[in-house]
Amino acid sequence: MITLIMKKNYKSRYFIDKQVQRLKFLLILIFLFIVFLPFYLSTCLLYAEISADTKASDSYDISAKSKKEKVSYYISKGNEYLMQGEYSNAIECYNKAKQLKRKDHKIHLLLGEAYRLADMKDESIQAYNESLRQGSEDIRIYLGLGNIYTLKYLYEESKRYYQKALEINKNNITALRGLAEIYEHISRYEDAFLLYEKIYSVDSSHEMKLKIVFLNILLGKYDNAEKYPENTSQFKILSGYINLKKNPKYAISEFASTEDNILKVIAYIEAKDMINAKKYLEILKNQSENTLSKKLAVALYENIK
Amino acid sequence: MPQDEALNRKNIKVLLLAACCLLFLFCSPGKIYSNNDNLIRELLWKDFLFLNKTRPKIAVVLGGGGARGFSHIGVLKALQENNIPIDIIVGTSAGALIGGLYASGMDITKIEELGKDVGWNEISDLSMFRMLTLITAESLLSNNKLEKYLAKHIGKKRFDELEIPFACIACDIKTGERIIFKDGEAGFAMMVSATIPGVFKPVEYRHRLLIDGGIVDNLPVDIARILGADYIIAVYPKADFSLIDIKSILMTLYQVINIQGSFLIAEQLNNADFAIIPDVKDVGSIDLNRSKECIESGLVSTRSIINNIKDKILEKYINLIIKKP
């Protein structure tokens, strides 16, 4: 009997405790709601006011302008959006300008640029072509078309446009780079190399250097490749590869400070150091990123086992 | 001014976003890894090509598909420009025509030009009157013109005179047997392999009546294996059947052949090491006027997956590249 009463008391106390806890939680919520609601509402109002102000001033600005002024307004607004990376807004503005003035190659060029940046390839090609049809000879059209056709894997067209850009300015770096990349894609390494060398004379960046070294290796000109020493990971991979062909032991020291990659494993195997080869093979196998080195390590591990 | 405030706020947001993008571009491991992947791929590919005599043989199997087969030109062009060696070619129907021309040593740009210019007039005696009487006619279109067309471009070369080992498939319409051509005159075999049923007259050859090989085997992957291929790349330009407009008896018949053909190739595709399926959309078997579109689709489809092809080959033969102790 006593134990039954105790059990009952225990149950009712537990029930009360739980209710109190719930009440406390509810009170906290109400408190937070009361405190933050005005802030939230005032922020909403402020934003609404700002956007209403902007819209109102915009519509006032537009309605008060002449057709010519409207066109330049939409163009400058579009340019502003383009600079900010808001491509869809830029496209909207340029299209409004286009509706007001259909025969203006500059608007079509800008539209082409905005579509290109928004990755709308076909629309961009159409706009650029319209600009060309209307008599524009702006180099940006050829550069833009070259870029888009490369992204569409249509290298012949791309090459044609980059060459046209070079007819306008034979030293245009974007066109030279675009053309060099195409040659690289279609394994015309000698042609790509000559262009990268030309670019390197004005832009001796790390990237250009890497391209030159890489192409020298692909062309089998290891001695030329070694003329451009650098201390970065990718350069070490390349110099490691050169040493792999000459002396695997040196290759190992080159690869020591790079990201783990399959060439490191190959260097150990060729230096007959199977313990380290297996060690790095396992490291690569367990990598989280699905890199080419990982895939090759998995395949090689099966063979070595 | 509230407008200025809003503009400032917007500018800060844009700056923050730009900073994040730059940080991502310069520091993301994905970029570092993908760059390293490109370097490693090309370096190992160079080593793979240097294997010379010990290098595994790569075969390209070109499937049938009528006009869709023009996409093979784009595929071969993309493989060639990326230094992917082609040691064996096997083809059926349109695949036999393109593959045979390529195996004969004809330059791919020349094949591309031929493909862009070819029409029914160049390969058959088709005329408006013929077109109208095709269904009721006793004799179908003659393939003499196709034979002459091929003779003009590759001459009387025999299979063993071709620059790349080549084989093609035909079908004996009397027995339903698959006939493999790998000896004799290549041009004749290519013509027989592309004798589209219902359009061209079947060809009488050694007591057999031969038609297009695509009827029995539209993607002869197993033949490439028999010819000694170690790695097989199968190319099958598959149409989106739902997009094809069926307006005539001929189109209905071709649709039936297409559907049956797609079932036949499933197993052969599985036996290939790599499959390239050019996206030819709604191009029908007899749309020779759409050759340019098909060539482009073959080119784009292959260029977009070229790294995958190299990676798969390297994965399979990485052990051969290493000079073992």
As a whole number, the mean pLDDT across chain A is: 86
Q: Identify all chain A residues contacting B41, using CB atoms and an 8 Å cutoff.
A: 292
Whether A27 maps to a domain, the answer reads yes
pLDDT at B23: 42
Q: Which residues pair with B166 in a beta bridge?
A: B89
Alpha-helix residue ranges (DSSP H) falling in chain B? 2-27, 29-49, 71-81, 94-103, 108-117, 120-123, 128-133, 144-154, 186-193, 221-226, 249-271, 291-304, 306-321
Three-state SS string over A175-198 comes to HHHHHHHHHHHCCCHHHHHHHHHH
Please indicate whether, in this complex, the C-beta atoms of A261 and B40 are within 8 angstroms of each other: yes
State the DSSP string of A90-153. Answer: HHHHHHHHHHH-SS-HHHHHHHHHHHHHTT-HHHHHHHHHHHHHTT---HHHHHHHHHHHHHTT
Q: Which residue is catalytic, options B87, B124, B172, B212?
A: B212
pLDDT at B123: 60
Measured CA to CA, the distance from residue A258 to residue A235 in angstroms comes to 9
A254, A292, A295, A301: best mutation site toward chain B, by most B Cβ within 10 Å? A292
pLDDT at B34: 54
Q: Do B71 and B43 meet the contact criterion of CB atoms below 8 Å apart? A: no
Condensed to tens digits (0 to 9), the pLDDT of residues A50-61 reads 555 555 556 656
Q: Is B49 helix (H, G, I), strand (E, B) or coil?
A: helix
pTM score, two decimals?
Answer: 0.79
Whether A102 maps to a domain, the answer reads no
Q: Identify all chain B residues contacting A214, using CB atoms and an 8 Å cutoff.
A: 39, 42
Whether A44 maps to a domain, the answer reads no
Q: Do B156 and B150 meet the contact criterion of CB atoms below 8 Å apart? A: no
Range of the domain at A299: 18-38+229-305
Read off the amino acid at residue A204. S
Whether A275 maps to a domain, the answer reads yes
Q: Which residues pair with B211 in a beta bridge?
A: B171
Whether A52 maps to a domain, the answer reads no
Q: Is B218 helix (H, G, I), strand (E, B) or coil?
A: coil
- The alpha carbon dihedral of A184, A189, A192, A193 has a sign of positive
| A186 interface with B at CB cutoff 8 Å | yes
Nearest to A261 among B14, B36, B311 (CB): B36
Nearest Cα residue to B258 out of B296, B232, B286: B286
| B243 interface with A at CB cutoff 8 Å | no
Measured CA to CA, the distance from residue A181 to residue B210 in angstroms comes to 48
Q: Identify all chain B residues contacting A154, using CB atoms and an 8 Å cutoff.
A: 296, 299-300
A296, A302, A303: best mutation site toward chain B, by most B Cβ within 10 Å? A296
Please name the residues between 293 and 322 in chain B that touch chain A, using a CB distance below 8 Å. Answer: 296, 299-300, 303-304, 311, 314-316, 318-319, 321-322
Q: Identify all chain A residues contacting B14, using CB atoms and an 8 Å cutoff.
A: 84-85
Whether A249 maps to a domain, the answer reads yes
The enclosing H or E element of B213 equals none
Residuewise pLDDT in 10s, chain B (325 residues): 455 565 566 555 555 545 544 444 444 433 444 568 999 999 999 999 999 889 999 999 999 888 899 999 999 999 999 999 999 999 999 999 999 999 999 999 999 988 877 765 666 555 555 555 555 554 566 677 788 888 888 888 999 999 999 999 999 999 999 999 999 999 999 999 988 887 788 899 999 999 999 889 999 999 999 999 999 999 999 877 777 777 777 778 777 777 777 788 888 999 999 999 999 888 877 777 888 999 999 999 999 999 999 999 999 999 999 876 5
* Nearest chain B residue (CA) to A287: B33
Measured CA to CA, the distance from residue A275 to residue A192 in angstroms comes to 40
Measured CA to CA, the distance from residue A124 to residue A140 in angstroms comes to 12
- Pairing relationship of beta strands B178-181 and B166-172 according to DSSP bridges: antiparallel
Q: Which residue is catalytic, options B71, B87, B93, B124?
A: B93
Q: Is B4 a catalytic residue?
A: no
Measured CA to CA, the distance from residue A280 to residue A272 in angstroms comes to 14
Whether A26 maps to a domain, the answer reads yes
Whether A151 maps to a domain, the answer reads no
Q: Is B262 a catalytic residue?
A: no
Q: Identify all chain A residues contacting B314, using CB atoms and an 8 Å cutoff.
A: 292, 296
- Shortest Cα distance, chain A CAs vs residue B296, angstroms: 8
Q: Do B264 and B278 meet the contact criterion of CB atoms below 8 Å apart? A: no
How many domains in chain A?
1
Measured CA to CA, the distance from residue B258 to residue B93 in angstroms comes to 13
| A122 interface with B at CB cutoff 8 Å | no
| A305 interface with B at CB cutoff 8 Å | no
The enclosing H or E element of A249 equals helix A248-256
Please indicate whether, in this complex, the C-beta atoms of A214 and B323 are within 8 angstroms of each other: no
Q: Do A74 and A97 meet the contact criterion of CB atoms below 8 Å apart? A: yes
